[in-house]
Amino acid sequence: MQPSGVSATPPIFVSSANLPKALSVSSSGLLMNKFNKTGSSTDPWREDLFPGIIDIDGLGGGLREYRASLLANHGFATLALAYYNYEDLPQDVTKLHLEYFEEAVNYMLQHPQLSTDAFLFVCFCFCFCFCFSPVHQVKGPGIGLLGFSKGGDLSLSMASFLKNVTAVATINGPVSNTVIPLSYKDKIIPPLTLKQQHTKDYDDNILDFSDATLDPFQVPGNQSLIPIEKAEAHLLFIAGQDDHVIKSEYFATEACKHLQAQGKENFQILIYPGVGHCLDPPFFPLYPIGNHPVFQKRAVLGGELMAYSKAQVHAWPQIQAFFHKYLNDK
């Protein structure tokens, strides 16, 4: 029997850990692999149209599904997208191709919902996964992007160069391409230069990398700066003032100044005092120290417990409201 609605039932979410090793992707992931895409999708299980969101995480690779799963519980069809160091994707990358992310956008806009019987069958029989009558579920004409850290600059690049991106929320993300060169068609966006010698060394050999990133707005003709003025999508910049990985507050405010100077009004900004690089949904723990994914050393991430907890409770519904407003045309 099919559940009556999203609010009364949890989202259908099948992680790779729940399937046989030979089929170590979700049921929707099986469909994605047909398009050479790797990730997990979460559907609020109902024959209806839902706003679609792609969740893109930061450096370090792998697949983190918790944000996508939680968003699905609030009426979104979501896709947590891995882009390296996961299953058959490269373990390390020397260049990222925006076409890969473009395929993910197209996949979401064509995403079918399978019946309950078909869902159980497709988990074990990939060759029949297109044999069922689909009900198109993702509400167009565009989708939303939620990007954290490196996922933030990838989301802004997608909004600047690709079609069918309607709303973008970035959490402590740069506004320049970082670490890995990004190509799209005949264009290559070089990464912003990192200077390890600009780091600060604390006790116990824990480093502060907040000054390691050059200022993209102060480098004449900087090719790494993402042309966000080309984006037609609505943009939400979320930044923590205590971010010790990148200067998130500075990047967000300068991006908004840049957009305003270009006559754009499609942006919003949320700045949270006492919040470090990580800002997860409510009740996730604070990680003030972690491993830097580029320099492979212990790093200060920043954040104060009370401020972080309050920001979690405030920011999460703001993100949902932002996507509901611009993806539902309300």
Ordered domains of the chain (ranges, CATH): 16-192+225-283+304-327 (3.40.50.1820)
Provide the pLDDT confidence category of residue 25 given band limits of 50, 70 and 90: very low
CA distance linking residue 327 with residue 118, whole number of Å = 28
The pLDDT value given to residue 43? 52
Its sign, for the CA torsion 212, 215, 219, 225, is positive
Q: What is the mean pLDDT of residues 137-163?
A: 94
> What is the reported pLDDT for 39?
57
- Report the range out of 46-60, 204-218, 278-292 with the highest average pLDDT: 278-292
The helix-helix angle for 150-161 and 98-109 (nearest 10°) equals 70
Contact present, 20 and 140 (Cβ < 8 Å): no
CA 270 to chain centre: 17
**Sole residue written with tokens 């080309």:** 230
Given the DSSP bridges, would you call strands 77-81 and 165-171 parallel, antiparallel or unpaired? Answer: unpaired
Classify each residue of 61-96 as buried b or exposed e, where b means 16 or more C-beta atoms within 10 Å of its C-beta: bebbbebbbbbbbbbbbbbbbbbbebeebeeeeeeb
Catalytic-role residue among 69, 149, 160, 248: 149
Residue 136 known to be catalytic: no
Interatomic CA distance for residues 114 and 34, integer angstroms: 16
Helix, strand or coil, per DSSP, at residue 308: helix
* Whole-angstrom distance, CA of residue 312 vs CA of residue 305: 11
Write down the pLDDT at residue 306. 97
Confidence of residue 18 (pLDDT cuts 50, 70, 90): very low
> 295: pLDDT confidence band, cut at 50, 70 and 90?
confident
198 catalytically annotated: no
3-state secondary structure of 88: coil
Contact of 189 with 177, CB cutoff 8 Å: yes
The total of other beta-carbon atoms located within 10 Å of residue 317's CB is 12
Distance CA 51, CA 53 (A): 7
Annotation says 149 is catalytic? yes
Determine the pLDDT at residue 264: 95
- Do 169 and 249 meet the contact criterion of CB atoms below 8 Å apart? no
The yes-or-no verdict on residue 194 having pLDDT over 70 is yes
203-236 b/e with 16+ CB inside 10 Å = b?
Answer: eeeebbbbebbbebeeeeeeebbbebeebebbbb
Catalytic residue among 74, 234, 277, 292: 277
Query: What is the rounded distance in angstroms from the CA atom of residue 65 to the CA atom of residue 80?
Result: 6
Work out the pLDDT band at 272, boundaries 50, 70, 90: very high
Pairing type for strands 289-291 and 187-189 reads unpaired
Rg of the chain taking only CA atoms, in angstroms: 20
Residue-wise pLDDT tens digits, 80-116: 999 998 988 988 889 999 999 999 999 988 865 433 3
The single residue of 43, 55, 242, 243 carrying the catalytic annotation is: 243
Tokens of 248: 């998130």
Q: At 121, is the pLDDT very low, low, confident or very high (cuts 50, 70, 90)? A: very low
Any idea which residue has 């320099």 for tokens? 295
